[in-house]
């Protein structure tokens, strides 16, 4: 009973945390398939009518689960249907209670334990805390109902018991996700699944309380249907290009008689140049450029060429505060290098480009550590 109360409390806390953070970042629906290796070890069967005490050992076997859930970015809420089956292997008669069963180990001629589980799981993803976002640790708890069928358990020809019940069930699990594509994840996890005690009845109407718990090694496949997080850069206003206005030609002077030459007028000022900053924004943990980014970089390159041959460009790379300091420093360097390479492709010389990377130390939007903020994932270009 204590285990059930503790499990229910932990599960309720996790689910409340999920609901409280549900609006942080929605990523949509997903469906999953889990398969793996299940260990149902020695289970105890205690008679409620006598001192008969049995231990039941089951064969290990495979299992399968189906999952459907919603990913909120940091938390996931999912429903799960699973099936376990284990053949009885042997019985250990600890105290025969006056029955005819011989004390010691006995081979089981037949019998099996079948379990259908229906669970509601709350899962916390710790990907924001990992140095390598390609490996995503997670942990979760679940509560629900289980339909347990203990069928035809026998010692030789003697019926030990049979029974079928719907029971309260709970589980704990932890593991790692490995994103394979934008839509597909593969996971590896350990799970402990248990129910409250079941009751079986033998041929003499004697009732036994039987415990049930399994240890699972799980390989999972998750197909995600949600869309990619909306790019912060797509919501930002683009720099307004400065129109280039050609000066009107000066009218030719009218000379009526030879006079001293008039001083030449000062040359007209050239067009005003937009020196920036030009800002290129990036998706989380990405350094590649899309069409809108290239357009901004092209505008900066055009303005630089109009400023003259000796112009310099200052390129500063930044990252948000999710992840470690070292990882974010490298990520900001990669982003700045991508922008520099595009400027060179636009016709500028590498000698004209001064690159600096700040990691997560110079944010545009103030946040706590390990918080994703699209406004901080950026590279700025300033013409000097």
> What does the pLDDT read at residue 223?
93
Same domain, 95 and 162: yes
Q: Which domain holds residue 20?
A: 2-224
Q: Is residue 256 part of a domain?
A: no
Same domain, 88 and 16: yes
> What does the pLDDT read at residue 281?
93
Q: Is residue 253 part of a domain?
A: no
Same domain, 278 and 210: no
Same domain, 214 and 278: no
CA dist 3 to 7, 42, 285, 333, Å?
6, 19, 41, 50
> What does the pLDDT read at residue 126?
85
Which residue among 171, 197, 224 closes a domain? 224
Residue 192: cis peptide before it, omega within 30 degrees of 0: no
Same domain, 291 and 200: no
List the pLDDT tens digit at each of the 384 positions of the chain. Answer: 444 444 444 444 444 444 344 334 446 899 999 999 999 876 766 666 556 677 788 889 999 999 999 998 889 999 999 999 998 887 777 766 555 566 666 655 678 889 999 999 999 988 655 555 678 899 999 999 999 998 888 777 766 778 889 999 999 999 999 888 888 999 999 999 999 988 877 766 777 788 889 999 999 999 999 755 444 444 555 555 555 566 677 666 666 666 666 666 665 555 678 888 999 999 988 888 888 899 999 998 898 888 877 889 999 999 999 888 898 999 999 999 999 999 999 888 888 899 999 999 889 899 888 888 989 999 999 988
> What does the pLDDT read at residue 17?
44
Same domain, 125 and 169: yes
Same domain, 368 and 296: yes
Query: 147, exposed or middle or buried, with CB in 10 Å at 0-12, 13-18, 19+?
Result: middle
CATH of the domain at 314: 3.30.1330.60
Q: Is residue 344 part of a domain?
A: yes
186 φ/ψ angles, rounded to the nearest 5 degrees:
-115, 140
> What does the pLDDT read at residue 52?
65
Which residue among 189, 224, 259 closes a domain? 224
Which residue among 155, 189, 224 closes a domain? 224
> What does the pLDDT read at residue 232?
46
Q: Is residue 277 part of a domain?
A: yes
Same domain, 278 and 219: no
Q: Is residue 69 part of a domain?
A: yes
Q: Does the model's pTM come out above 0.75?
A: no
CATH of the domain at 127: 2.40.160.20
Same domain, 157 and 204: yes
Q: Is residue 252 part of a domain?
A: no
Same domain, 237 and 178: no
> What does the pLDDT read at residue 384?
85
Same domain, 42 and 73: yes
| Contact present, 304 and 383 (Cβ < 8 Å) | yes
Q: Is residue 141 part of a domain?
A: yes
CA angle in degrees (0–180, nearest 5) for 156-160-164: 130
Q: Of 56, 210, 206, whose CA–CA distance to 148 is shortest?
A: 210
> What does the pLDDT read at residue 49?
58
Give the chain as a 3 state SS string: CHHHHHHHHHHHHHHHHHHHCCCCCCCEEEEEEEEEEEECCCEEEEECCCCCEEEEEECCEEEEEEEEEEECCCEEEEEEEEEEEEEEEEEEEEECCCCCCCCEEEECCCCEEEEEEEEEEEEEECHHHCCCCCCEEEEEEEEEEEEEEEEEEEECCEEEEEEEEEEEEEEEEEEEEEECCCCEEEEEEEEEEEEEEEEEECCCCCEEEEEEEEEEEEEEEEEECCCCCCCCHHHCCCCCCCCCCCCCCCCCCCCCCCCCCCCCCCCCCCCCCCCCCEEEECCCCCCCCCHHHHHHHHHHHHHHHHHCCCCCEEEEECCCCCCCHHHHHHHHHHHHHHHHHHHHHCCCCHHHEEEEECCCCCCCCCCCCCCCCHHHCEEEEEEC
Same domain, 23 and 60: yes
Q: How many domains does the chain have?
A: 2
Q: Is residue 261 part of a domain?
A: no
> What does the pLDDT read at residue 26?
46
């Amino acid at each position: 009973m204590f285990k059930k109360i503790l499990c229910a409390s932990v599960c309720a806390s996790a689910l409340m945390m999920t609901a409280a953070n549900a609006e942080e970042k929605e990523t949509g629906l997903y469906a999953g398939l889990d398969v793996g290796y299940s260990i149902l070890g020695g289970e105890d069967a205690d008679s409620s009518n006598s001192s008969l005490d049995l231990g039941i050992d089951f064969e290990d076997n495979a299992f399968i689960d189906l999952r459907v859930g919603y990913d909120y970015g940091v938390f996931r809420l999912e429903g799960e249907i699973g099936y376990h089956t284990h053949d009885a292997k042997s019985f250990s008669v600890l105290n025969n209670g006056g029955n005819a069963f011989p004390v010691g180990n006995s081979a089981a001629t037949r019998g099996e334990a079948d379990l259908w589980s229906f669970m509601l799981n709350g899962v916390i993803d710790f990907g924001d805390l990992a140095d390598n976002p390609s490996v995503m640790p997670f942990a979760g708890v679940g509560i629900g109902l289980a339909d347990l069928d203990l069928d035809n358990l026998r010692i030789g020809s003697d019926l030990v018991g049979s029974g079928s019940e719907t029971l309260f069930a709970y589980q704990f699990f932890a593991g790692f996700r490995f994103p394979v594509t934008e839509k597909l994840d593969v996971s590896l996890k350990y799970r402990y699944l248990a129910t409250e005690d079941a009751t079986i009845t033998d041929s003499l109407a004697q009732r036994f309380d039987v415990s049930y718990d399994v240890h699972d090694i799980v390989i999972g496949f998750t197909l995600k249907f949600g869309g990619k997080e909306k790019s912060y850069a797509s919501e930002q206003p683009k720099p307004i290009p400065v129109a280039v206005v050609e000066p009107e030609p000066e009218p030719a002077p009218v000379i009526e008689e030879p006079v001293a030459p008039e001083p030449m007028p000062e040359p007209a000022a050239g067009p005003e140049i937009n020196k920036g900053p030009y800002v290129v924004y990036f998706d989380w943990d990405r350094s590649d450029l899309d069409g809108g980014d290239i357009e901004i970089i092209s505008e900066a390159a055009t303005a630089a060429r109009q400023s003259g041959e000796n112009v310099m460009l200052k390129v500063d790379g930044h990252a948000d505060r999710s992840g470690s300091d070292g990882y974010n420093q490298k990520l900001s360097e990669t982003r700045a290098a991508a922008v520099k390479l595009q400027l060179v492709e636009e016709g500028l010389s590498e000698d004209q480009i001064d690159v600096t990377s700040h990691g997560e130390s110079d944010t545009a939007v103030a946040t706590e550590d390990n918080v994703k903020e699209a406004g901080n994932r950026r590279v700025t270009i300033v013409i000097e």
